[in-house]
Amino acid sequence: DVKVTQSSRYLVKRTGEKVFLECVQDMDHENMFWYRQDPGLGLRLIYFSYDVKMKEKGDIPEGYSVSREKKERFSLILESASTNQTSMYLCASSSLGGLEFFGPGTRLTVL
Amino acid sequence: ELKVEQNPLFLSMQEGKNYTIYCNYSTTSDRLYWYRQDPGKSLESLFVLLSNGAVKQEGRLMASLDTKARLSTLHITAAVHDLSATYFCAVDEAGGGADGLTFGKGTHLIIQP
């Protein structure tokens, strides 16, 4: 079974803090994605990566950055967290042309 | 810009009834996905539809894709309470799966016993 894990299920941070969200997949997938999910808005793509050290902006990249130093790991970074970044963050991975598998999600609250 | 619209966004129905959720999208694509999400949980893949006319069935759920009409449907037959969840459709515009998916806002389905 494909397994996508995220470092935290729940996270509470203060405005201005630097926040790291980690995602690891164990199926040697080329593609990895970060989405945020907000009530009434569905899922929106923040960043994605199709290879190590490669990254592409999704639909809402502002205020975020990413890092992919190893194939299995994709990190989402909030350089200076703000309250409007309070959300559920979902990581996903897929093989080339394959189905996206999602992690359990991290519910981030920024106070 | 690709837009994916689901209809309805909220649906309350009784057990035993049939209903259909619609997913319209605004650009040409022949890859469409349906996911299910239970409260507080992540997304679970239901169906992958990869060509015009594709139909997939699993239990009481059946999904179809009409790429010419840019429409996918998720049909629920003889609904049971366990199917209560939020259902999302998602479109892979680029077609290769590498550029991420564009999701609809989700259909929150409540099935009353």
Residues A23-44: tens digit of each pLDDT: 999 999 999 999 999 988 889 9
Q: Give the Cα separation of A103 and B53 in Å (integer).
A: 30
Kindly indicate the confidence band of residue A100, based on its pLDDT and cuts at 50, 70 and 90. Answer: confident
Kindly indicate the confidence band of residue B76, based on its pLDDT and cuts at 50, 70 and 90. Answer: very high
Q: What residues of A are in contact with residue B25 (Cβ under 8 Å)? A: none
* B90 and A CB contact within 8 Å: yes
| Cβ pair B88:A48 closer than 8 A | no
* A40 and B CB contact within 8 Å: yes
Q: What residues of A are in contact with residue B104 (Cβ under 8 Å)? A: 42
Both tokens of A27, joined, read 């199926």
What percentage of residues in chain A have a pLDDT greater than 70? 97
Q: What residues of A are in contact with residue B87 (Cβ under 8 Å)? A: none
Listed in sequence order, the residues at least 6 apart from B40 whose beta carbon sits closer than 8 Å to its beta carbon are none
Does residue B95 carry a pLDDT above 80? no
Three-state secondary structure readout of chain A: CCCEEECCCEEEECCCCCEEEEEEECCCCCEEEEEEEECCCEEEEEEEECCCCCCEECCCCCCCEEEEEECCEEEEEECCCCHHHCEEEEEEEECCCCCCEECCCEEEEEC
* B51 and A CB contact within 8 Å: no
Kindly indicate the confidence band of residue B19, based on its pLDDT and cuts at 50, 70 and 90. Answer: very high
* B46 and A CB contact within 8 Å: no
Q: What residues of A are in contact with residue B96 (Cβ under 8 Å)? A: 96-97
Q: What residues of B are in contact with residue A42 (Cβ under 8 Å)? A: 88, 103-106
Q: Give the Cα separation of B106 and B28 in Å (integer).
A: 21
pLDDT of residue B113: 85
| Cβ pair A48:B43 closer than 8 A | no
Coil vs helix vs strand at B82: helix
Rounded alpha-carbon distances, angstroms, from residue B15 to A46, A99, B12, B98: 38, 31, 10, 39
Nearest residue, CB atoms, B106 vs list A42, A48, A97: A42
Q: A74-90: per-residue pLDDT in tens?
A: 999 999 999 999 999 99
What mean pLDDT value characterizes chain B? Answer: 91
Does residue A96 carry a pLDDT above 80? no
pLDDT of residue B100: 84
Does residue A68 carry a pLDDT above 80? yes
Averaged pLDDT for residues B71-96: 91
Q: Give the Cα separation of A51 and A7 in Å (integer).
A: 21
Kindly indicate the confidence band of residue B96, based on its pLDDT and cuts at 50, 70 and 90. Answer: low
Kindly indicate the confidence band of residue A99, based on its pLDDT and cuts at 50, 70 and 90. Answer: confident
